[in-house]
Amino acid sequence: MSSKVSRRQFLSYTLMGVGGFMVSATLMPMVRFAVDPVLQPKGEGDFIPTPQKVDELSETPVRVDFTIKDRKDAWYKSDVSNTAWVYKEGDTIIALSPVCKHLGCTVNWEGDEKHKNEFFCPCHNGRYEKNGKNIPGTPPLGPLDEFMVEVVDGYVHLGKTVPNTLV
């Protein structure tokens, strides 16, 4: 065991050690910045529970009200009540946003006696089919948005709105 370390070896080890430390000191923060978005906690739990049981859903859209608690808008915290039209198509649950794609009024299922089986917007007589497709010739320019749906313990939970995927 020639455990004698030569001066040259000692110097090169020390330099490598110190150099490595310095390089990592600059690299580590960069790596941390790069992965930071992934590590962020997701605020306001993605899916919000609603009082709607899955068993009670049918093929007719029903109105489901739910509340987003403590939503933060800058420094202002508030509870926001929200609504969705929810129905079953086979086994999939579909939740449509009631916000009219024309100017943002609230649409109703069969809101007009003359047009059964359609969503109706009372502001300018906009109409949508059951899957949210806007009926040409009425003011809306696009289909109703959809909510992301998740089922937890037999209850419908709703997430963000996404552009309609059914049309």
**Smallest separation (angstroms) from another protein to the CB of 164:** 19
Identified binder of another protein from the candidate list 32, 53, 72, 124, rule CB under 8 A = 124
11/62 with CB nearer another protein: 62
Identified binder of another protein from the candidate list 84, 93, 121, 149, rule CB under 8 A = 121
At 25, which amino acid appears? A
Alpha carbon distance 150, 160 (integer Å): 11
Does residue 104 interact with another protein by CB under 8 A? yes
Does residue 40 interact with another protein by CB under 8 A? no
Identified binder of another protein from the candidate list 54, 88, 139, 167, rule CB under 8 A = 139
Tell me the per-residue interface mask from 64 to 93 with another protein, x by CB under 8 A, - otherwise: -x-x-----------x-x------------
**Smallest separation (angstroms) from another protein to the CB of 35:** 36
Does residue 100 interact with another protein by CB under 8 A? yes
Question: In angstroms, what CA-CA distances link 112 with 61, 66, 85, 116, 123?
Answer: 15, 25, 16, 7, 12
Alpha carbon distance 22, 18 (integer Å): 6
Q: H/E/C letters for each residue in 5-62?
A: CCHHHHHHHHHHHHHHHHHHHHHHHHHHHHHHHHHCCCCCCCCEEEEEECCCCCCCCE
Residues binding another protein (CB under 8 A): 65, 67, 79, 81, 100, 102-106, 121-124, 139
